[in-house]
Amino acid sequence: MFSRRNLVIVGIVVALAVAGGFWWQAQQAATQNATSIRQETVALGAILSTVSATGALSPDSQVSLYFGANAPSPVAKLNVAVGDEVPAGAVLAELDTTDLELAVRQAEQNLRAAELRVAALTAAPRPEDLALAEANLKVANAQVYQGAQGSTAEQIEIARLNLVLAQRALDQLYQQMDDFIERGDYAGKQALEAQEKQLQENAQIANLRYQQAVNRRGSGGTALGAQEQAEVALERLKRGPDPDELRIAQLQVEQAQAALELARNNLKDAQIIAPFAGVVAAVNIRVGEVANAALPAVVLVDNAAFYIEVGVDEVDIAQIAAGQLVTITVDALPNEVFSGVVERISPQSTVNAGVVSYPVRVRLQSADERLRGGMTSTTEIVVREATNVVLVPNWAIRREAGQTFASILRNGQLEEVEVKLGLRNENVSEVLSGLNVGDVVGVSTARQQFSLFGGGN
Distances (CA, A) of 40 to 93, 219, 398: 66, 137, 15
Cα 207 to the center of its chain, rounded Å:
70
- How much is the pLDDT for 260? 92
Query: Please, which residues have CB within 8 angstroms of residue 65's CB and are 6 or more apart in sequence?
Result: 92, 272, 275, 296, 297, 298, 299, 300
This model's pTM is above 0.85:
no
Strand partners, 400: 403
127, 239 Cβ separation under 8 angstroms: no
According to the model, what pLDDT value does residue 221 have?
53
Buried b (16+ CB within 10 A) or exposed e, 148-171: eeebeeebbebbbebbebbeebbe
Q: Does position 183 have pLDDT exceeding 90, yes or no?
A: no
Residue 403 pLDDT > 80: yes
325-358 pLDDT, tens per residue? 999 999 999 989 999 999 999 999 999 999 999 9
42, 434 Cβ separation under 8 angstroms: no
The pLDDT confidence band at residue 12, using thresholds 50, 70 and 90, is very low
Contacts of 283 (CB under 8 A, 6+ apart): 78, 80, 81, 82, 297, 298, 299
Alpha helices in 89-185 (DSSP H): 98-122, 127-146, 153-183
Work out the burial of residue 427: count CB atoms within 10 Å of its CB; fewer than 13 is exposed, 13-18 middle, 19 or more buried. Answer: exposed
The answer to whether 42 and 406 are in contact (CB under 8 A) is no
pLDDT single digits (tens) 73-129: 788 899 999 989 999 999 999 888 888 889 899 999 999 998 888 887 776 667 776
In our burial notation (b when 16+ CB lie closer than 10 A, e otherwise), range 255-291 reads ebeebbeebeebbebbbbebeebbbbbebebeeeeeb
| Mean pLDDT score of the chain | 82
pLDDT band at residue 56 under the 50/70/90 scheme: very high
Dihedral class, residue 89 (left if φ above 0, else alpha if ψ from -120 to 50, else beta): left
3-state SS string over 281-339?
A: EEECCCCCCECCCCCCCEEEEEEEEEEEEEEEECCCHHHCCCCCEEEEEECCEEEEEEE
Give the confidence band of 219 by pLDDT, cuts at 50, 70, 90.
Answer: low
